[in-house]
Structure 1
Amino acid sequence: MVGVKYLTQLEKEHETRKVLLSLAQSIQERDIVTYEHSRRVAVYAQRLARYLGWTRREARNLALAAMVHDLGKTWIRNDILNKSAALSSEERRMMERHPVVGARILIGCDVPPFYVETVLYHHEAWNGNGYPVGLKGEEIPLSARILSVADVYDVLTSQRPYKAPLTSREAQERLLKSVGTHFDPKVLDGFIHLLKIKPHFTLPQHVCSISTQAQAEPKLYSLIAGGH
């Protein structure tokens, strides 16, 4: 009986993984820049989670959540998503809805709450000034706090239409200015330590070609399954 339950749980995890990788593929087809950003964030988040003591399984699950953390952006118009100038107040409100939109899509796909909460709260801030809910401190799920650091680091070190990339050192300095306000101090301290002990921690920014779902799913999963 125990064996049957265990296999059923494995089957559920397999189905969840298939759903999340399929959604990641949809991001790739909609916006390759967002997909590549998500791919790098997944690796950073997985490495950070492992450093903070998460099991390999837990860290892989976080990486899967990171692959779809910007899923809601696939519903944002290109003229807003790729705008090089500052966003208007209305455009920013639309952009800030992407965690809610992404979470709703995940709920509709019947994935476990861990993934929904991680996506929904990855823009919450330690001091309570984040969005969409305004959670504060440890009210924010740890998965979302880890994802937040990885997400912002990649944004800072990547080329965007509105900015040049920062060096790793410049990005660290920028992150440290927000410790205790935007970021969980313990999580950020762990991330900064990883950057210091791993000189080649930062992944190169590049755009890969769009592959079929059959090709993409094994590639995506091997990427996150091989993280440390």
Structure 2
Amino acid sequence: MLLSLAQSIQERDIVTYDHSRRVAVYAQRLARYLGWSRREARDLALAALVHDLGKTWIGNDILNKSAALSREERLKMERHPITGARILIGYEVHPFYVEAVLYHHESWNGQGYPARLKGEEIPFSARILTVADVYDVLTSQRPYKDPLTTDEARERLLAGSGTNFDPVILQAFVHLLDITPDFTLTQHVCGISLKNLRQPGFYNMFIAGSSS
């Protein structure tokens, strides 16, 4: 079901799908580095593939806008975690995935959205996903900005330690950056057919191949 929903993202907005694919890889790597089992890390990667599912209900005039969003547009954008979580609930997927999607924009200091959760109130899965998500946004080309280098993104993340991000998780991610050559994935339109992901054993090959 999650892979079918990821395919719907791919069909609606290939840029959002490509972003989600990279975030899935980063989140899986970080989860494994933090001691999660392969299965747990795989589940988080699946959640990451659909973390922006709610954006499929936002118009291109907002998604692709190069200028700053208006207050009304920003409020619409900030509803995408709720929309995505509601879609997942409608398909009766496990609460683990719902929580990761719903809370991936919460901030450690309680100033995130949609629920303004603070610190350890935020599910651990969402805290990992937040770091992976922001790192990819920082290092990717967007209509409104140029990509940052790995070093620039590293410094930007560190500046948000204890405010935007769980400091322990962030420190682990930064260390992973420092010890992993060519950590940052190339931004491109992914040509992998998601139906192949349903074949036995293909999921691990998909994640491993994304690191090249």
Pairing 1:150–2:132 present: yes
Q: Distance in 1 between matches of 2:38 and 2:102?
A: 23
Give 3-state SS (helix, strand or coil) of 2:21's partner.
Answer: helix
- In structure 2, stretches of 5+ residues that fail to align are none
Structure 1 partner of 2:101? 119
User: Does the Cα contact within 8 Å between 1:127 and 1:181 map onto a contact in 2?
Assistant: yes
Deviation of the 1:226 alpha carbon: 7.3
Q: Which amino acid aligns with 1:69?
A: H
Give 3-state SS (helix, strand or coil) of 2:68's partner.
Answer: coil
* TM-score w.r.t. length of structure 1: 0.88
1:160-216 CA distances to partner (integer Å, 9 max, x unpaired)?
0000000000000000110000000000000000000002111111113474x5345
- In structure 1, stretches of 5+ residues that fail to align are 1-18
Q: Which amino acid aligns with 1:179?
A: S
CA RMSD in angstroms, aligned pairs only:
1.7
User: Does the Cα contact within 8 Å between 1:83 and 1:162 map onto a contact in 2?
Assistant: yes
Pairing 1:222–2:195 present: no
Fraction of identical pairs, as percent: 75
Structure 2 partner of 1:188? 170
Structure 2 partner of 1:49? 31
Q: Distance in 1 between matches of 2:197 and 2:75?
A: 33
Map 1:99-178 → 2, pairs under 5 A: 99-178=81-160
Q: Which amino acid aligns with 1:125?
A: S
User: Does the Cα contact within 8 Å between 1:100 and 1:132 map onto a contact in 2?
Assistant: yes
Structure 2 partner of 1:14? none
Q: Distance in 2 between matches of 1:57 and 1:30?
A: 29
Deviation of the 1:225 alpha carbon: 7.1
Q: Which amino acid aligns with 1:78?
A: N
Number of residue pairs the alignment of both structures matches: 209
Pairing 1:60–2:60 present: no
Q: Which amino acid aligns with 2:117?
A: L
* TM-score w.r.t. length of structure 2: 0.94
| Structure of larger gyration radius | 1
Q: Which amino acid aligns with 1:134?
A: R
Q: Which amino acid aligns with 2:195?
A: A
Pairing 1:78–2:38 present: no
Give 3-state SS (helix, strand or coil) of 1:176's partner.
Answer: helix
Structure 2 partner of 1:199? 181
Describe the shift of the 1:225–1:112 C-alpha distance in structure 2 as closer, same or farther (beyond 3 A).
farther
